[in-house]
Every structure is written in C-alpha cells, then in structure tokens.
Amino acid sequence: RLYLDHNATTPLRPEARAAMLAALDVTGSASSVHAEGRAARRIVEEAREKVASLVGAAAKAVVFVSGATEANATALTPHWRRGPADRPLEHCLVSAVEHASVLAGGRFAPDRVEMLPVDGAGRADLPAWSARMADLRQANERPLVSLMLANNETGVLQPVAALAEAVQAAGGVLHADAAQAAGKIAISMATLRADLLTLSGHKLGGPFGSGALVLASEALHLAEPLIAGGGQERGARAGTENLPAIAGFGAAAEAAARDLAAEAVRQRALQGRLEAGLGRIAPDVVVFGQGAERLPNTICFAVPGIPAETTLMALDLQGVAVSSGSACSSGKVRASHVLKAMAVVPDLASGAIRVSLGRSTAAEDVERFLAVFHRVHRTIYEKRRMRAA
C-alpha cells in the first residue's frame, strides 16, 4: 500500500511509541504528591516543555487536551478575560475555510458566529476582515477571531500575524488552528502574534486523542473552562492527565522539531515533482491554492470532468490511499466548503483529490503514485469515450 493521506493522520513516530510504552507502566496520577505521582508529573511536564518548544512558547502556556477538536472547542468561547473587569466577548469571526470544529463556533451562540471571506487562492480577504473589525471596534463589541494557520484540504497558509493589530485594537482575542501547520512549518508564537494556538498530536506523529491549546499570555485566562472539575491543567481543562497520550505527544513534538527544516525542503521538492507529473498526465489539471503560499506536503487538485469518487476508488484498488474533500467527515464524498469559499465551480470542486505527503514518503513513492494515476486517468477516459461512442 502507498499511504498519501498524512493530513488525515500520520503514522506514530517510534519516539512517541517508546514514550507511550514507558508511560503505560507508571502507576501514579500526576496530581498525587507521593513518589508515584511525582513520576507521572515529571512525564507530563517534560512533554509540556517539548510541545512548547515546537511553537516557541513557554511551557506553562501549554494546556493539554484530547486533540485539536477539543482545543478549538475550548478556544472558541466568550469567556476569555484579560482583566477582572472584562466582559464576555460578543462575536466570533471565523474564516469560511476553517475546519468543521471551528465552524461549529464553540460556546458562542450560533447567531454570534460570522464567516468571513477568503480570496480565490483561499487566503483571508484582509480588507474585508479589517473592515468588520473596525465596525466592531466602533460599536465597542469585542470579537474572538479564528483563522487557521494552514488549511487541511489545500495546504494554503493564512496571514494570521497580519490580523493581530486589528484584533488587538478591537480588544479581541486571536485564535489560530495550527493542527496542520505544526511539525510541517516553523511556528513561533512571538511572530505569529496569536493569543491562542491549537495543536493536534496525531497530525505530527503522536497518538490519537492528544493535543494542546497554547496561550500566548499569562494575562489571558478562561473564566469558564469547557471541562470543569478537578482543576487540572491550571484550571483550564479538568480530568486526570492522559499520561501515555501526553508522553507520546511530547516525544513526537520533539522529533518533529528536530526533523522539520530538512523534511520541509525534502517534501517541498516532492510536491513540485508530483505537480509537474500531474501536469504532464493531464494538462488541464487544476491545482488549488497554487497562487498562495502552501504547506510543503499538500497537493489538492482536480481534473475537469472526473468525479473524485471515481479516481479515489480506482486508486484505492491499486493500493494507493489519498483523500477527497474533507477526510475528517464521515468518509462520504461531498462538495468541499473550502473550495466553495474559494469560488471553485461545483463541477471542478467535485473532482478534488488531496494528496498529502509525510516523512515516510520517498521520491519513488511519488513516481509510483504518478504511474498509477496515469493508468487510472487513461482508463477513466477510455471508458468515457467508449460510452460516448
């Protein structure tokens, strides 16, 4: 099998597996004061350092949660406070290309969640966003603004830092979902200038069910946590710490940070090779978001007139796993809201295939993908011609 669906999930790193196996044998709860508890606490705090270091944050800024979905649900709330006199945030502004877990709007009332537009390449339409924030500032209504760092379907990168000033001026809070970006491109909380950052463990070689919400400033605190109870994670997320998941996430984050620069260059070259190959096989191929800065591992494309299911199933039968539309949904192929927001015509959007590379992807894998795709493409066209004749 050839697995080219690393944006859906990427295999567990050996370092993460080893850390998880070791953590499974720890008896204590990280909240207990005895030696067993202290051993568990050490594992949690070491992992916290590693995750923080991947994004240039202080260790105490990291809140461990069960994944990016929970991090997004925690982040999207009116209950962030900078000072005791702060009132709840009134609005939630999200881009039209966010992951479903952000579009859901967290704890904001549905009529307080607004979708803001992107341009044809999938980037936030900054003048429209700034105008909306200026309106809110005038009305003295504070927004929570959520813009993802990298899109899961197209890999397109967003100008998060460019929004920071306008969000601050409106007294708002800026959140960035970096579930897809972390481990693929360098991230520094200081240059990103977001107040909150979402991370997912299994997208960077950690286990499923691990993730973090990173807070840029100690002044910012959650007046009402999403999950209340025993006060773990400094009151931001209750529940006995999931030791193996946290240990695995930490080890994966450390390994990802180590490999990042070399992998980005290597995968960028493979991305170029794959796209050039697609252009030779199908000169009418459209690569989405090609005009924008993108992740080095993601290629989202369509060949006009060929539905994604047809290609996807044919590739699967030939041993190649890729995805179409948004893979996080039920496995059913439906029109992508991301491509729709980019004003891609429905016919073309219904053919969108996402190939996402990972650290196990070699140059030969790209050649094998192209050879299989070439065969599949030719067969589909021949069948069409025979049916038309």
Nearest to 338 by CA among 118, 174, 161, 147: 118
- 92 is known as an active-site residue: no
The crossing angle, in degrees rounded to 10, of helices 308-317 and 363-388 is 120
| Strand ranges for the chain from DSSP E | 2-3, 62-65, 80-81, 91-95, 113-116, 143-146, 173-177, 196-200, 211-215, 221-222, 286-287, 298-302, 320-321, 323-324, 353-356
The answer to the question of residue 68 lying near ligand PLP (CB under 6 A) is yes
Which position among 75, 116, 118, 148 is part of the footprint of ligand PLP (CB under 6 A)? 148
CB of 243 to ligand PLP, least distance (A): 18
Terminal alpha carbon distance of the chain:
35
Q: Candidates 64-72, 220-228, 278-286, 294-302: pick the segment binding ligand PLP (CB under 6 A).
A: 64-72
Nearest-5° Cα angle at 357, 244 to 101: 60
Q: How far is CA 5 from CA 96, 228, 344, in A?
A: 23, 35, 22
Question: DSSP code of 238?
Answer: -
If phi > 0 it is left, if psi is from -120 to 50 it is alpha, else beta; for residue 272 that is: alpha
Name the residue nearer to ligand PLP (CB basis): 10 or 232: 10
Task: Check 328, 349, 352, 366 and give the catalytic one.
Answer: 328
Binding mask 204-243 for ligand PLP (x = CB under 6 A): -------x--------------------------------
What is the per-residue DSSP string for 323-343? EES-TTSSS-----HHHHHTT
Which position among 10, 95, 101, 232 is part of the footprint of ligand PLP (CB under 6 A)? 101
Q: Candidates 44-52, 172-180, 238-246, 375-383: pick the segment binding ligand PLP (CB under 6 A).
A: 172-180
Name the residue nearer to ligand PLP (CB basis): 8 or 313: 8
Which position among 19, 67, 195, 282 is part of the footprint of ligand PLP (CB under 6 A)? 67
- 315-344 positions binding ligand PLP, by CB under 6 A: 328
- 174 token code pair: 């800026």
Nearest-5° Cα angle at 3, 373 to 70: 125
Which position among 6, 99, 142, 193 is part of the footprint of ligand PLP (CB under 6 A)? 99
- 175-204 positions binding ligand PLP, by CB under 6 A: 177, 179-180, 200, 202
Q: Candidates 136-144, 173-181, 307-315, 377-385: pick the segment binding ligand PLP (CB under 6 A).
A: 173-181
CB of 328 to ligand PLP, least distance (A): 4
Q: Tell me which residues are annotated as active site.
A: 328
Q: Contact residues for ligand PLP (CB under 6 A)?
A: 67-69, 99, 101, 148, 152, 177, 179-180, 200, 202, 211, 328
